[in-house]
Chain A
Amino acid sequence: MKILNCPLNGPRNIQEFVWGGEVTEMPDPNRCTVAEWGDYVFLENNTRGVIREWWCHAATNYWFIAERDTSTDEILKTYPAGEVFTVRTDFEVPEEDSKG
């Protein structure tokens, strides 16, 4: 069993973690096309090489980001999500919709 280094809890058996998928950017839900939204919701990039993934330490429910090489399954580094998501996300209703 692999060991995953949790930024909060240190190295733990990977069995204690839950995989949360690749870190992708949500397209603006009020402005993107149907196809863009469909890609975001349903498609995985399935990249070969180093990708950023969401992982959650299940016992503490701590979410963080891991960089993993999908061809070797080697986990290169892990860090808090705040290193990637530095600013608050806000959503706004497009002009034409806000009237209705």
Chain B
Amino acid sequence: MTTSHRLPEPFGLYIDRSRTLGFDFEGRHYSGLAGDSLGSALAANGVKMVSRSFKYHRPRGFLTFAGLDCNSYVQFGDEPNVQADRLVLTDGLSASALNVSGSLENDRDAYLGHFSRFLPVGFYYKTFFRPKGAWAYWEKIIRRKAGLGNVDKKTPHGYYDKAYLFADVCVIGGGPAGLSAALEAGKTGAEVILIDEEARLGGSLNYAFGAGGQERASKLAAELAKFDNVTVLNPALCTGWFADNWLAVIQGNRLYKLRAKQVVLASGSVEQPMVFRNNDLPGVILGSAVQRMIRLYGVRPGSRAVVCTGNDHGYRVAQDLRDAGVEVVAITDLRNEEAKCVEAGALAAQGLRILSGHTVYEAIPERGKRGISGAVIDSITGEGEVSGSGETLACDLIVTSVGYAPLAQLMCHCGGRMKYSDALHAFELDERPKDAFFAGSVDNGFDLEAALAEGAQSGWSAAKTAGAKVGKEPAKPGAKGAEGINYPWPIFPHPEGKDFVDFDEDQTVKDVINAVADGFEDVELMKRYTTVGMGPSQGRNSALNSVRLTNKANGRGVSGSTTTTQRPPFKPESFGHLAGRSFDPERLTAMHHRHVEAGAQMMLAGAWYRPAYYGRKADRLACIEAEARNVRNNVGMIDVSTLGGLEVRGPDAAEFMNRMYTWAYKKQKVGRARYLLMSDQTGAVVDDGVACRFSEQEFYVTATTGGVDGVYRAMLRWNAEWRLKVDVANVTGAYAGFNIAGPNSRKVLEKLDCDMDLTAEGFPYMGVREGRIAGIPVRLLRVGFVGELGYEIHMPASCGEALWDLVMEAGAEFGIKPFGVEAQRLLRLEKGHIIIGQDTDGLTTPAEADMLWAVGKKKPFFIGKRSLDIMAEARPLERKLVGFTLPGDSPVPEECVLVIKGDRIVGRVTSAARSEACGGIVGMAYVAPEDAVPGKSFNIKLEDGAYIYATVASIPFYDPDGKRQEL
């Protein structure tokens, strides 16, 4: 393939002519050069059409050549919506076009353009409503015809990560203003980060100001490189600017979260398209885009061009085109007066045809519409109106230069606002966020020297505000050159339409005007109705013209009107960037490895890993039963390190406990444990545990695995208000613990070197002791969840594994075996002990849970007391937790299946299991209060819809008198 459109040096700053790369597009092979983008390589091969439009499948070509439009979206392997003008060319690269049925050249759906009158404005909006079912019909067709690219569902998750950065000054944009800002801030010694989307710094200096501009860019970049305190992130893109200068920056596969003390926004501007008939065809292109093609990539954008301008920039563009060997047929200048710039004079002197007060009114498509064959030019007779006696000029390129819109979307993410200025016919920054400075064309500064000076001053001021030691203030910038850049009305509607305002969504002048006529008068409403600005370019290329049109049509006038709300991200982010790598915190107990060695199946409890049971998954039920049997008949051991541990100490410790928990703790004896139940201010049960009093002023408090952090936080919150003399510490991670339970548990402990009296008299049930076992300091609690003689041993986490090993060794002769959470759940159910969060929910009161025995009646206060008092007086109980049994041949009901009475749901099953010790199925459920009497029966609706009868039973099911635990 020839690359006939490639220009000789010095054109093509980015490309390396010594390295040729081969690539495929739409199944055809081409060659490009190292440094090319896919877009520039295609353009160098004379390819003008790169995609078809979203709705009408119209041919589309390059518009901004800066990755700011979606005309250049291609499918790149498994990645949809890749911008051809941003995709770095690599050898062997292969890409295809979007929105194409068949091929780009011969799209079966290209006829859709002829049916545009059947897809009127608000089509989607209207089909959502009526007739009923219409959307269901249309959706399938629309989803097939429209949509951008294909998602490969089998694509594996690539490597993406996240990193954090901090800066005194972050400069966004590496053009003249940004470079100068970074340099000036860098001179102060401040930590500076400069972000730019291009691989080479310089921005417009590299393409809009000839060889001299490129030289200045190189000089500035070289000077910047001397500062160690300046970091350049490029090519990288800032996609979001959040509160307090929190920036999202994407570079390669990494998402940076950058916190800057001060931000200098020098993100530049985007040139705005003209509106005329067929303004969307390949070959109609922005002036800045052809400058990029020529200077950056050495690509000749066409052979015969008509330039339509509304400012002096158009003459520079015309000069660049001529330098690149493009014949400029004519320049139509929208302005009535003659241009005064040097370039205009030079071009006129060379005999170029310059027509003031003229516009391009229509682009003439070539056969097949894959490009253009001419331009209809005409004289302007009024706002958006022409004489009608136009002239057709043969050309393959229409280049427009009618003004810019600030790329200030980022600023709008954090509270800034853009407003239409009558004086400039442009959006200008209106409300600006704090701790930020603005320089260059984003702030309508178009004079190069002024932009450089403005950048320097912004960088200096930002560094100063960030606290850096600054030198002398840089010179004040001269006139910004903001006036005369934007032509007020570059919109020329055509009676036959195809005068596009939004290329992403194929919306024309008529669509916008009809939307206003349909009553969607405000730009925000017009946007939602027409979808103008809702495509991937997010209005970057359509906001200015659509705001002009809307506010003309609604009669309000464009002056002072704002853009629609800009939300992050500035450009699409991939899910990979958002997902990154996942780092889920894991907590392992001191004995974790012993469980794994013993073949435990581990389960998550919050962030903790706990043994569910020991053995193979296939033998789950048998394992659980065996573990439970060993506890009932012999001795077992369970790791309880994950239970919360809190130290409550101080002269007011007992008073504090009395306020935080429902029961009474002031008279609790030292050396004894007492059950704890906590409710919240609404009276709902939220946690339980035991309080161990080790001295008058010292309680060791346990809490549930999942609840301890909330309990701890609540304790501190309340005491911040109450100012009691008490100190609370969360010692959950500091202690490891295990429970040794079963009739032989005392014998096992007696074998160890223990300095505590373990006899039933010396250490009764609910007693607590501090002492040493085998020299290890321990807290020994004669409490238990499972209802057997048992001891809970708490020891410093560092000693957990050692003591576990010692007890296992001592217990070997008694057949000691570890048991897991599943066996413990069964054992506690047999004893009728509730699990908070399983047998209770967010509304359960102590009365409903049948736990009024644990509520102190005479206390002046505890959290939730008044609410419980009010409920007790005001309304009868609605449900009550009871134990139940089922006949042996019943299935075991799943947790949460419903309890039905008549036609009402009265409750649910909270726990159920087949119990060997109880000789059948036992469970707990909420039932109607009148049925909460042992012997009564109630209905359970199983998952499959079948009903079974359960009989209310008194709890505990097992050892009702508690003899075994008190041995």
Say yes or no for B870: interface residue by CB 8 A criterion.
Answer: yes
Is the CB–CB distance between A93 and B243 below 8 Å? no
Is the CB–CB distance between B242 and A1 below 8 Å? yes
Say yes or no for B564: interface residue by CB 8 A criterion.
Answer: no
Give the distance in Å from the alpha carbon of A98 to the alpha carbon of B681 in the complex: 22
Which residues does chain B contribute within 8 Å of A42, judged by CB atoms? Answer: 682
Closest-by-CB residue of A relative to B659 is A91
Give the distance in Å from the alpha carbon of A61 to the alpha carbon of B710 in the complex: 10
Number of residue pairs spanning A and B whose beta carbons lie under 8 angstroms apart: 71
Give the distance in Å from the alpha carbon of A41 to the alpha carbon of B259 in the complex: 38
From known contacts A30-B861, A41-B681, A93-B858, infer whether A88 and B722 are also in contact, taking CB-CB under 8 Å. yes
Which residues does chain B contribute within 8 Å of A30, judged by CB atoms? Answer: 860-861, 866
From known contacts A1-B246, A2-B243, A29-B861, infer whether A37 and B721 are also in contact, taking CB-CB under 8 Å. no
The one of B682, B712, B860 in contact with A41, judged by C-beta atoms closer than 8 angstroms, is: B682
Is the CB–CB distance between A37 and B870 below 8 Å? yes
From known contacts A37-B866, A37-B867, A93-B860, infer whether A85 and B716 are also in contact, taking CB-CB under 8 Å. no
Say yes or no for B723: interface residue by CB 8 A criterion.
Answer: yes
Is the CB–CB distance between B716 and A61 below 8 Å? yes
Say yes or no for B720: interface residue by CB 8 A criterion.
Answer: yes
Min CB distance A36 to B, Å, is: 10
Give the distance in Å from the alpha carbon of A54 to the alpha carbon of B720 in the complex: 10
Min CB distance B654 to A, Å, is: 14
Is the CB–CB distance between B723 and A88 below 8 Å? yes
Min CB distance B166 to A, Å, is: 12
Give the distance in Å from the alpha carbon of A64 to the alpha carbon of B716 in the complex: 10
Which residues does chain A contribute within 8 Å of B716, judged by CB atoms? Answer: 56, 61-63
Give the distance in Å from the alpha carbon of A41 to the alpha carbon of B867 in the complex: 9
From known contacts A1-B244, A2-B244, A91-B861, infer whether A81 and B713 are also in contact, taking CB-CB under 8 Å. no
Is the CB–CB distance between A54 and B858 below 8 Å? no
Say yes or no for A89: interface residue by CB 8 A criterion.
Answer: yes
Min CB distance A85 to B, Å, is: 5
- The proximity string for A residues 8-50 relative to B, scoring 1 for CB distances below 8 Å and 0 otherwise, is 0000010000101000001001101010011001100000000
Is the CB–CB distance between A87 and B723 below 8 Å? yes
- The proximity string for B residues 366-400 relative to A, scoring 1 for CB distances below 8 Å and 0 otherwise, is 00000000000000000000000000000000000
Min CB distance B433 to A, Å, is: 12
Say yes or no for B717: interface residue by CB 8 A criterion.
Answer: yes
Min CB distance B83 to A, Å, is: 29
From known contacts A41-B867, A61-B712, infer whether A89 and B723 are also in contact, taking CB-CB under 8 Å. yes
Is the CB–CB distance between A29 and B866 below 8 Å? yes
Say yes or no for B724: interface residue by CB 8 A criterion.
Answer: yes
Give the distance in Å from the alpha carbon of A86 to the alpha carbon of B722 in the complex: 9
> Which residues, 847 to 872 on B, are CB-close (under 8 Å) to A?
858-861, 865-867, 870
Size class of the A contact interface (CB-based, 8 Å): 20 to 34
Is the CB–CB distance between B724 and A88 below 8 Å? yes
Say yes or no for A92: interface residue by CB 8 A criterion.
Answer: yes
Which residues does chain A contribute within 8 Å of B860, judged by CB atoms? Answer: 30, 91-93
The one of B246, B259, B721, B865 in contact with A89, judged by C-beta atoms closer than 8 angstroms, is: B721
Is the CB–CB distance between A89 and B244 below 8 Å? no
Closest-by-CB residue of B relative to A27 is B866
Min CB distance B874 to A, Å, is: 8
Say yes or no for B730: interface residue by CB 8 A criterion.
Answer: yes
Give the distance in Å from the alpha carbon of A68 to the alpha carbon of B857 in the complex: 40
Give the distance in Å from the alpha carbon of A38 to the alpha carbon of B874 in the complex: 13
The one of A1, A32, A54, A92 in contact with B243, judged by C-beta atoms closer than 8 angstroms, is: A1
Is the CB–CB distance between A61 and B861 below 8 Å? no
Min CB distance B862 to A, Å, is: 9
Give the distance in Å from the alpha carbon of A54 to the alpha carbon of B865 in the complex: 23
- The proximity string for B residues 856-899 relative to A, scoring 1 for CB distances below 8 Å and 0 otherwise, is 00111100011100100010000000000000000000000000
The one of A18, A85, A92 in contact with B723, judged by C-beta atoms closer than 8 angstroms, is: A85
Say yes or no for A76: interface residue by CB 8 A criterion.
Answer: no
Give the distance in Å from the alpha carbon of A53 to the alpha carbon of B367 in the complex: 69
Min CB distance A51 to B, Å, is: 17
- The proximity string for A residues 76-100 relative to B, scoring 1 for CB distances below 8 Å and 0 otherwise, is 0000011001111101110000100
Min CB distance B686 to A, Å, is: 14
Is the CB–CB distance between A85 and B244 below 8 Å? no
Min CB distance A45 to B, Å, is: 16
Give the distance in Å from the alpha carbon of A56 to the alpha carbon of B882 in the complex: 39
Using a CB–CB cutoff of 8 Å, the interface residues on chain B facing chain A are 242-244, 246, 259, 659, 681-682, 712-713, 716-717, 720-724, 730, 858-861, 865-867, 870, 874
**Interface pairs (26), CB distance under 8 Å:** A1-B243, A1-B244, A2-B243, A2-B244, A2-B246, A3-B244, A29-B861, A30-B866, A37-B867, A38-B870, A41-B681, A54-B717, A56-B713, A58-B713, A61-B730, A62-B716, A64-B720, A81-B720, A81-B721, A82-B723, A88-B722, A91-B861, A92-B860, A93-B858, A93-B859, A98-B858
Q: Which 10 A-B pairs have the closest CB atoms?
A: A91-B861, A81-B720, A29-B866, A91-B860, A63-B720, A93-B860, A2-B243, A89-B722, A1-B246, A3-B244
Beyond A37-B870, A63-B716, 9 extra complex contacts between A and B, CB < 8 Å = A1-B243, A2-B243, A30-B861, A61-B713, A73-B243, A85-B723, A87-B723, A88-B722, A88-B723
Using a CB–CB cutoff of 8 Å, the interface residues on chain A facing chain B are 1-3, 13, 18, 20, 26, 29-30, 32, 34, 37-38, 41-42, 54, 56, 58, 61-64, 73, 81-82, 85-89, 91-93, 98
